[in-house]
Structure 1
Amino acid sequence: MPAVFISYSRKDFYFAESLAFHLDREGIATWLDANHLAPGGDWAAEIDHALDEAKTVILVLTPDSVRSEYVRREWQRALAQGDRLILALFRSCKPPPELQHARRVDFCGAFRPALWRLTQLLATPRDAAAHQTTRLRFPVPPWVGIMTVMLASVFFVPMMIFGDWHGLAFTNEPIAFRIFYWLALPFFLGFIFWHSCIALLRRRMGMTRLALSLTLFTGVFGFYLLGRTGWIPAVTARTTAVQYSIIPTSVLTCIIGIGCVGLAIVILLRPEDLLRWCPTGKAWDSHRRGRVIRIPDLPTRFAELRRFQLLHDVEDAPAAARLRAELIRAGSVEASTDAMSVVLLTNRTTTAWLSQHAELLQKGVVTVIGSAIGLPPSLHWLWRRQWIDLRRWDATRRRKNPVPAVPEGMTRLRIPAVVRLNEHLLCATAGLLAVLANVVFSPKSSKSDTLAPRDWFGMLIAVVCIFWIVAAWQLIHRRTTQLRYTRRLRILSWLTLILSVGGLCFFVSLGGNALRTAPGATFVLALPFLLRWQTSRLAFWFPAPPVPGTKSAPRLNAPRKWDALLWAFLYMALWMLLLEVQT
């Protein structure tokens, strides 16, 4: 029996992958491109061949698939061939006029009943199957609805704890301020509500953002509940000005419980509804590992090559050395003749080198993507070649490598876990220095119009903070060599140690709690050892020194991302809480 072809938009990959997995478990063979496309092949030709072989096509119907030109091409080809077409309605949308009379199954609600109806429809002869449109009671999957209610619960009540709403008369404020406040308040509340509840319903929120939202609002409730109970005097002292009369303790406790249960659902229970609802690339590996994956892993992909010839640019030599070792470990043999050509591309690959090998690439070589890249218009034909994604591949972890990558664009910034860990170390250091610079520049330190020694000291701390952020940015974008990175961090580590000791002592001299400086002092003392241990694990990530004359040559650079700056601000806020620094 020919396999059932599943047509979907890339933005609905998690649902399509789960649907194919469960249909296979029911004994129905499926063809999903991510599970069957071979590296190096022309994916458009292979998809056309699979469509020619299939007699039944399942179209995952969403607004994204309706807008996709590739999906339109697939279902139009299926109609032209007279194939049986079934619509799996995942998100409410209006199908194209040509599909108005196609059979459909509603997956907008519970997945299991809809899957049973789909299997029954597939088992029914084509001529005997009646047209059906099944509407479910819930417009979203059950667990998505539950999480939305939880987010709404932990959102609205925190808005009440910033004061007694009945007392917001602003009798001492000018009329202009009152008008501005009451006009801006709905926009502020709507902005937060959009980024908490509506974003989840519209599939704009990933697992990390969902967990952070629950943690943030639950933490706010816990903070104010501690202030009311008086268990921790320091917290009570900070919250004495807050009006609690309109919020019973039972309500606070209930909402904290809702937030904790929501976190437990996301982290421990990991319902598949949330996985299927997530945008592509924004789900955690733990939700996919061992549950819905049928994509061959990296060792299987490497073993399929058998004989290979590795090609790479000069600056990609360190990454190529690790890739060659993994290919040999998987059972493949490096050979110069009668071998499959493997081309490694990173953001340090020059367009001149790639243009020199353009003729070879068009003959069906295996392309390996080592980092986020951007292709010039003259090389866009490479998109048609199925490639192996190693952007999140960690050469230092053999047993716990990420699950097979999801089909995402080459330009998306995906980095290994060890690189992400080093980025957080650098950003945490920058955040600590930013707080210490704020302490030194505080009004209590200097009120003179001229620059005092304290001001120069604060400026030096701020400059070193900027260098840490730049180092983190260069690390994630592979803009520095290992030698230069190591030397720079060695100098910055010692400067940070000296400046942090002075800044923390100055913080204590201004009346700060000496015990609060313990986390910062411990972190600064351990920083050189942590960075030295981590740098050795990053050898595969750094590019080799550029060839003279090619430093400014055009490369396959992806759009820049400023994650390092955002993380530095977040760590700055965390250090301010730990040190009890008030702006």
Structure 2
Amino acid sequence: MRVFLAYSRQQFSAAEQLAAILTAQGIDVWFDAERLVPGMDWAHLIEEAITSADAMVLLASSDSLNSPHVHQELLGAIEAQVPVHAAVVEACDLPGGLAGVVDLRRRFEKRAATFGRNLLGGKPIPRASSRGIRYPVPILVILAALTVNLLAIVGNLVLYPIDLAIEEVSWDHMQWWEAARGVAAPAVAIALAAYAGVIRHRFRRRRVRFGLLLAALLTGLSVYQLAGGLINAVVEAADHGSLDRNLRLTDATSRGDVYFALASLLLILMNLAAVGCLCFSRSVFRWIPAGEAPGWLRRRALRPAGNPRPPTTRVRRSQRIAVYHAIGDTPVAEEVTKAFAPVWSVHAKGEPDLRVVVISGATSWEWARGLLRSGPSVAVLVGSVRPPADADELQLVQWLDFRDGDTERLRSRAAVLRSSAAPVQSSPPRAIDRFAAPTPVRFLVAFMIAMGAVLGSSAILSVSVVAPESMWRNIQHGVMPTVPNPADRRYNVANPNYVHETAADADQLLRIRAGLAAVLCPLLLWGARRLGARRITLTGLSTLVLFSAIVTGTWLLLGWRSEEPGSGLLLFESLLAAGVFVYGIGSAPRLAAWLPDQWPRRRAGQLPAVAPTLLRFSVPLAFGALTALYISGTIL
């Protein structure tokens, strides 16, 4: 029995698993990711597959029912009188005229296998309901954990004014920096609550990335304790009559101690259960965006798939190719040529049998479209871009993805184009306008963004939230009184309740370090954006890295001189910076093969390059976390 699978790319993971289960039942499933490769006449082959199918299975969701491509496939099935069965994976309003409806929102594997047996046996498919919100149990567990994380932080915010009212704190006689500390604590807690709420909302909408979701669950307890400890520290300091010193989180107590302990225990249990579901549940594989699931989870979900099947449609027997690329893309074009060379004859003169067009942010779409429409051709994507609305050659994912620099995968795809005997292995689609790059590039971009966010936040907080004089900035002891030790040479006479553990010129050094951080922050963020968008040469990147290393080294040395922060934190920062610098030097060959060889300039008609999206998360997250650290006296 032959079945055509119609679906939206947003539900690629569910479609891939459903195709694997139906194939294990003995059904010949026409799944485009296993049957089509770039360079084929996709429209003709899809129409041919629909008319020759015994049935069509529509993976029903709001995305698929709003997809013009799925709508066209449904019209083709109706015209060919092919019965259409709907497999519901998301609550939606189904069209009329369906032969049967199966609800796969829960017990996906069991119901899909039963559905396949009924199709083979010719049994009628009962029409199940497609309405209502039905979550699989693992998804409910993760959603509950995210909700508890959010409510725990909100509970701290509710207790804050109550505690201040009980302590009878008066704001009338406080200096502006003291009042700022009292306002900054709930502001940070509100920011953390907003971040938790955004993650929960995006997960419920199936739009959150696996890494962000895992980080939110692993740090749920820490984020709650940070918000709660900061608020409690402000209340405790206010109870002692002053907010002019930095606060110590570990010594903070509150009238909400019982709530704090119970909430922490609940968070530990809920987040551990949610992490287990996230890492091992096949429901998560289908829920999160396509391509986000780690390899082990994908292999677990597709276990029944077996070996990849060869395409049923013969592919052209062409031999000669020519590689076309924009100015500046010569290094990456050479890597593309090397991947095609083992199975193709690279032809530079005359009319080639296949045109290979390299697509990047330096490519003029009018020029590329002319090549792609002039005969047998295939596009190779080396950088994420935003294609125009009429770019059908790119909208239908009729391109080879080389953004991550995986030469072996590109070589295997080239072999599929060369011979019909080569198997087609399905792989999760990655949107053309989503940032993707080789591993060294992604690592350096993430580090530069994180470092820039930390330095920028540090520069702002060092001149605003930090206590104005070093005698009040005590890293080890905070605001709680300590037993004075007059014999200690660091004993602070002006403030006998505190041990002064910073250098005599710590205030001036802190301002210099803040200035260096303010210079380095925009430079790193600018460099990360240019690197992610392939708009910097290797020479420019090397100059940027060298200058950043010198400024960072100076910043660290001044920290050692001022004895602020502690030696342990400074040692960690120094080793981290040195390790990244060595990693960047070792990755120079891969960077040289991916980056342009000429300084790119924006020209009219070029495809817009896509920059990394980490900026929108890293900067506010670093600022919120460092605000709490600086109020507590931890100086970076």
Q: Secondary structure at the match of 1:120?
A: helix
Structure 1 residues 439, 69: CA separation in 2 closer, same or farther (over 3 Å shift)?
Answer: closer
Q: Which residue of 2 aligns with 1:518?
A: 571
Deviations 1:392-425 (A, max 9, x none): 33459999x9x96533442222222221111123
Give the distance between the partners of 1:138 and 1:360, measured in 2 at CA: 44
Q: Which residue of 1 aligns with 2:40?
A: 41
2:516 and 2:551 in contact (8 A); partners too: no
Unaligned runs of 5+ in 2: 171-182, 231-245, 414-424, 471-507
Q: Secondary structure at the match of 1:388?
A: strand
Identity within the alignment, %: 20
2:440 maps to which of 414, 418, 423: 418
2:206 and 2:288 in contact (8 A); partners too: yes
2:325 and 2:359 in contact (8 A); partners too: yes
Deviations 1:531-551 (A, max 9, x none): 22233331222012159xx76
Q: Secondary structure at the match of 1:374?
A: coil
1:325 maps to which of 321, 338, 341: 338
- The correspondence of residues 134-173 of structure 1 with structure 2, limited to 5 A, is 139-161=134-156, 164=159, 167=162, 170=165
Q: Which residue of 2 aligns with 1:91?
A: 90
2:124 maps to which of 120, 129, 152: 129
Give the distance between the partners of 2:143 and 2:254, measured in 1 at CA: 28
Larger radius of gyration between Structure 1 and Structure 2:
2
Amino acid at match of 2:272: C
Structure 1 residues 387, 295: CA separation in 2 closer, same or farther (over 3 Å shift)?
Answer: farther
1:373 maps to which of 385, 388, 392: 385
2:102 and 2:126 in contact (8 A); partners too: no
Q: Secondary structure at the match of 1:421?
A: helix
Q: Which residue of 1 aligns with 2:551?
A: 495
Deviations 1:104-133 (A, max 9, x none): 1111211123113311320233xx626432
2:192 and 2:624 in contact (8 A); partners too: no
Q: Does 1:541 align with 2:594?
A: yes
Give the distance between the partners of 2:299 and 2:94, measured in 1 at CA: 33
Give the distance between the partners of 2:515 and 2:408, measured in 1 at CA: 39
Q: Which residue of 1 aligns with 2:52?
A: 53
Q: Which residue of 2 aligns with 1:279?
A: 289
Q: Does 1:434 align with 2:434?
A: no
Following superposition, the deviation at residue 150 of structure 1 comes to: 3.0
Q: Which residue of 2 aligns with 1:230?
A: none
Q: Which moved more, 1:559-568 or 1:536-545?
A: 559-568
1:348 and 1:543 in contact (8 A); partners too: no
Structure 1 residues 66, 479: CA separation in 2 closer, same or farther (over 3 Å shift)?
Answer: same
Q: Which residue of 1 aligns with 2:80?
A: 81
- The correspondence of residues 233-272 of structure 1 with structure 2, limited to 5 A, is 238-247=250-259, 249=261, 252-267=264-279, 269=280, 271-272=281-282
Q: Which residue of 2 aligns with 1:63?
A: 62
Q: Which residue of 2 aligns with 1:354?
A: 368
- The correspondence of residues 552-567 of structure 1 with structure 2, limited to 5 A, is 552-564=603-615, 566-567=617-618
Amino acid at match of 1:517: L
Following superposition, the deviation at residue 207 of structure 1 comes to: 1.8
1:11 and 1:279 in contact (8 A); partners too: yes
Amino acid at match of 1:411: D
Give the distance between the partners of 1:223 and 1:238, measured in 2 at CA: 10
1:42 and 1:386 in contact (8 A); partners too: no
Structure 1 residues 281, 484: CA separation in 2 closer, same or farther (over 3 Å shift)?
Answer: same
Q: Secondary structure at the match of 1:105?
A: strand
Q: Which residue of 1 aligns with 2:103?
A: 106
Following superposition, the deviation at residue 58 of structure 1 comes to: 0.4
Q: Which residue of 1 aligns with 2:401?
A: 389
Q: Secondary structure at the match of 1:540?
A: helix
2:339 and 2:410 in contact (8 A); partners too: no
Q: Which residue of 2 aligns with 1:364?
A: 376
Give the distance between the partners of 1:236 and 1:324, measured in 2 at CA: 60
Give the distance between the partners of 1:241 and 1:492, measured in 2 at CA: 42
Q: Which moved more, 1:419-428 or 1:279-288?
A: 279-288
Following superposition, the deviation at residue 284 of structure 1 comes to: 3.1
Q: Secondary structure at the match of 1:13?
A: helix
Structure 1 residues 295, 367: CA separation in 2 closer, same or farther (over 3 Å shift)?
Answer: farther
Structure 1 residues 568, 328: CA separation in 2 closer, same or farther (over 3 Å shift)?
Answer: farther
2:146 and 2:196 in contact (8 A); partners too: no
Q: Secondary structure at the match of 1:72?
A: helix
Give the distance between the partners of 2:371 and 2:594, measured in 1 at CA: 28
Q: Which residue of 1 aligns with 2:487?
A: none
Q: Secondary structure at the match of 2:253?
A: coil
Q: Which moved more, 1:484-493 or 1:429-438?
A: 429-438
Deviations 1:148-199 (A, max 9, x none): 233334443344355747936848699xxxxx9xxx99x9999567535454
Following superposition, the deviation at residue 478 of structure 1 comes to: 0.6
Unaligned runs of 5+ in 1: 175-179, 228-233, 447-451
Structure 1 residues 558, 491: CA separation in 2 closer, same or farther (over 3 Å shift)?
Answer: closer
Following superposition, the deviation at residue 440 of structure 1 comes to: 5.5
Q: Which residue of 1 aligns with 2:499?
A: none
1:476 maps to which of 524, 532, 543: 532
Deviations 1:458-517 (A, max 9, x none): 3343112211111111100111111121122222212221233124533x26xx433332
Q: Secondary structure at the match of 1:318?
A: helix
Q: Secondary structure at the match of 2:19?
A: helix
Give the distance between the partners of 1:324 and 1:545, measured in 2 at CA: 19
Q: Does 1:205 align with 2:196?
A: no
Give the distance between the partners of 2:62 and 2:140, measured in 1 at CA: 20
Q: Secondary structure at the match of 2:38?
A: coil
Cα RMSD over matched residues? 4.4
Amino acid at match of 2:468: K
Q: Which residue of 1 aligns with 2:233?
A: none
What TM-score do the two structures reach when normalised by structure 2?
0.74
Q: Which residue of 1 aligns with 2:479?
A: none
Give the distance between the partners of 1:137 and 1:349, measured in 2 at CA: 46
Give the distance between the partners of 2:450 and 2:295, measured in 1 at CA: 25
Q: Which moved more, 1:368-377 or 1:302-311?
A: 302-311
Deviations 1:321-353 (A, max 9, x none): 112222235x44424566422111111223464
Q: How many residues of Structure 1 are paired with residues of Structure 2 in the alignment?
A: 550
Amino acid at match of 1:148: L
Structure 1 residues 426, 554: CA separation in 2 closer, same or farther (over 3 Å shift)?
Answer: same
Q: Secondary structure at the match of 1:315?
A: coil
What TM-score do the two structures reach when normalised by structure 1?
0.80
Give the distance between the partners of 2:603 and 2:452, measured in 1 at CA: 29
Deviations 1:535-582 (A, max 9, x none): 3331222012159xx764542123555524643554566677888536
Q: Which moved more, 1:157-166 or 1:414-423?
A: 157-166
1:576 and 1:582 in contact (8 A); partners too: no
Give the distance between the partners of 1:444 and 1:248, measured in 2 at CA: 32
Structure 1 residues 395, 575: CA separation in 2 closer, same or farther (over 3 Å shift)?
Answer: farther
Amino acid at match of 2:116: T
